[in-house]
Amino acid sequence: MAAAWVRLCALVLIGVSSGAALASDKTPTAIVVGGGMAGLTAAYELQNKGWQVTVLEAKPGMGGRSGLATSEWIGNTKAQPVLNQYLDRFKLDTLPAPEFVRTPGYLIDGEYFSAADLAVKQPATAEALKRYEKTVDDLARSIDDPLKPQATSTLFALDQITVSSWLDKLQLPATARQLVNQQIRTRYDEPSRLSLLYFAQQNRVYRDVSDRDLRAARLPGGSPVLAQAFVKQLKTIKTSSPVTAIVQDKDGVTVKVGSVGYRADYLVMAVPLRALAKIQMTPGLDNQHLAAIKGTNYGWRDQLMLKFKKPVWESRARMSGEIYSNTGLGMLWIEPALKGGANVVINLSGDNARLLQAFGDKQMADQVLIRLHAFYPQARGAFTGYEVKRYSADVGTGGAYLAYGPGQISKYWRLWERPVQRVAFAGEHTDALYPGTLEGALRSGQRAASQVQDLLAGKSFDPVKAAPVAATAAAGAAAAKQGKGGFFSNLFGGSSDKADAADKAPAKADAKPADKAEQGKPGFFSRLFGGGDKAPEPAAKADEVAPAPAPAPAHAPAPAPAPAQPAAPAPVAKPAPAKPAAAKPAAAKPAASKPAPAKHTPAHKPAHKPADAKKAPAKAAPAKKAVTDTQAKAG
């Protein structure tokens, strides 16, 4: 009897150990929703770790919000480390950028100026731009840690102010204000819709990154070339597969595409917030996430490529690279085309893009061509065609890229960095350092892949905690009132009483769609082509802007782990009943990767540690943006 009992126990133990062995040998599975740069990166990294990955993309093609440019200016390893890491890995060739395009140029009333030309021919405008850049640098230095921009109540109060109202205090001359507005709306959104705290934080990230670093090379074929390199490595991709529902339970995740179900252990959600709003999730997201989906501002941009048989501007200027116009032509990129022709890629952004929503593509191309023809009379005769990308009109995007509006950092800062049960989130909007950029998208894909592996290993993530918005904002207002030499006094000039009066008003007025300096000018085309960007009349008693105190500079983020090789994914049908598991999102650390906004990027990155990035490379010249950012906003 005793011997039989021993044999029975032995058999039970053998069965248990065999089951455990089988379980440990099971290949983990993941579904990636979204075939933009963030989703492709996450899928690639997981596949390289031995996961079976299925990518589901709603559109017929991959690559997300890649731009129209047939080639693209990109930054070096200092500006975009993660991007350069993947270019090296996939052996994608780049061409060194000519020196004359490594700093931005200006098209003022049809005349092209390099930065050096501007100092000689329009000294007042050049000096005003220098004063603006110095003030932006002072503002950026007020952010000690770009990963914690709201660390103090005083800084938190900046989130209640718009960039436009802050610019009004600088009292820039008309031309300088028009150029500054164009730089800001191209990189983010209309200044009247942008949080001053977000603007300060992003300039802090790029503070030590020069224009030359941001335009160091040209990538022939643009970001679509990188997207295709990822696609070639992945085993299971399903295009034209819009996801309609996601059900999580204690054992896995079921994803519905029409009547077809795909089953996996974990999921990476790599779609813009507007697309996420159309997906039914069970259990549903909490109120803070739902509010972020509806309330987070996206920058608006339409991208237009005009094609010419020859570069009609050569006789008057050697235009190339990033060019800002004061005449409503947006930010221009000039690039060579095949057979000796040339292309002009124009980014119409901010309210300029919003105003054109009623236009058809051909009407929009005609209006821009008319304006270009006025400056370059051979333009119409050399014109051969156009292409248009309207990010603003894309129902799945609802804009081009993340651009926090007033009060939104207070509510949603780094919210999407934390997983929700079995779902990790990726996309440029989830990167804290390089949002809105190719670098940020790549970084976010690395971070999401790392988090999914942590979830499999049993790691628990802390739940998201909503920031006490009202209390913090009140504290910020109180801080602004404090004695002489306070932050607002130093930043905006004058005594603390003046600062208090100036700051309270903008907090309310800033919520308006656009300030008077940018909207109330006569006529649609006057507004579109520059008339509405005139600088405001000087106030009777305006405070001079003084530099803000300079906190310690941020350290560069730690290098991120290099991506691995791909493996194989697998669709499965069968939704399982949802059983909400205790949600445990944890404060995620941005993975390595945009240009200066390492959020990207989040941002840009060959060597950032997803988990350890604490402080990001800062930006040398404010309000400047990597070519990659303007041309290839990440998806």
- Residue 230 C-beta-side C-alpha neighbours within 13 Å: 29
Does pLDDT of 470 surpass 50? no
pLDDT in tens, 371-385: 888 878 888 899 999
Query: Could you tell me which residues come within 8 angstroms of residue 214 by beta carbon, excluding any fewer than 6 positions away?
Result: 73, 75, 79, 595, 596, 624, 625, 626, 627
**CA gap 447, 427 in Å, rounded:** 10
Q: What is the pLDDT of residue 319?
A: 55
Q: What is the pLDDT of residue 10?
A: 55
Q: Could you give the 3-state DSSP secondary structure of residue 72?
A: strand
DSSP 317: -
DSSP 393: T
Cα distances (angstroms) measured from residue 349 to each of 329, 332, 397, 492, 528: 10, 11, 15, 28, 11
Averaged confidence pLDDT in the chain:
75
**CA gap 289, 420 in Å, rounded:** 10
Query: Could you tell me which residues come within 8 angstroms of residue 255 by beta carbon, excluding any fewer than 6 positions away?
Result: 31, 33, 56, 243, 245, 246, 261, 262, 263, 264, 267
The encoded tokens of residue 304 equal 């237009």
Question: Closest Cα partner for 197 from 169, 230, 155, 168?
Answer: 155
Q: How confident is the model at residue 398 (pLDDT cuts 50, 70, 90)?
A: confident
Q: What is the pLDDT of residue 357?
A: 81
Does pLDDT of 624 surpass 90? no
**CA gap 427, 461 in Å, rounded:** 19
Q: Can you give the pTM of this predicted structure?
A: 0.73
The encoded tokens of residue 489 equal 């006094």
Q: List the helix and strand counts (H, then E) for the chain.
A: 24, 21
Q: How far apart are the first and last CA of the chain?
A: 68
Of 164-168, 210-214, 226-230, minimum mean pLDDT range: 210-214
**CA gap 496, 615 in Å, rounded:** 31
**For the residues of 547-605, what is the DSSP string, one character each?**
PPP-PPPPPPPPPPPPP----------------PPPP----PPPPP---S-BTSBTT--
> Over pLDDT 70: what percentage of the chain?
66
Does pLDDT of 28 surpass 90? yes
Q: How confident is the model at residue 314 (pLDDT cuts 50, 70, 90)?
A: low
**What domains can you pick out in the chain, each with its CATH number?**
26-65+72-96+223-296+403-465+560-631 (3.50.50.60), 118-218+472-533 (no CATH), 298-390 (3.90.660.10)
Q: How confident is the model at residue 3 (pLDDT cuts 50, 70, 90)?
A: low
pLDDT in tens, 258-274: 999 999 999 999 999 99
Question: Closest Cα partner for 138 from 511, 510, 547?
Answer: 547
Q: Could you give the 3-state DSSP secondary structure of residue 71?
A: strand
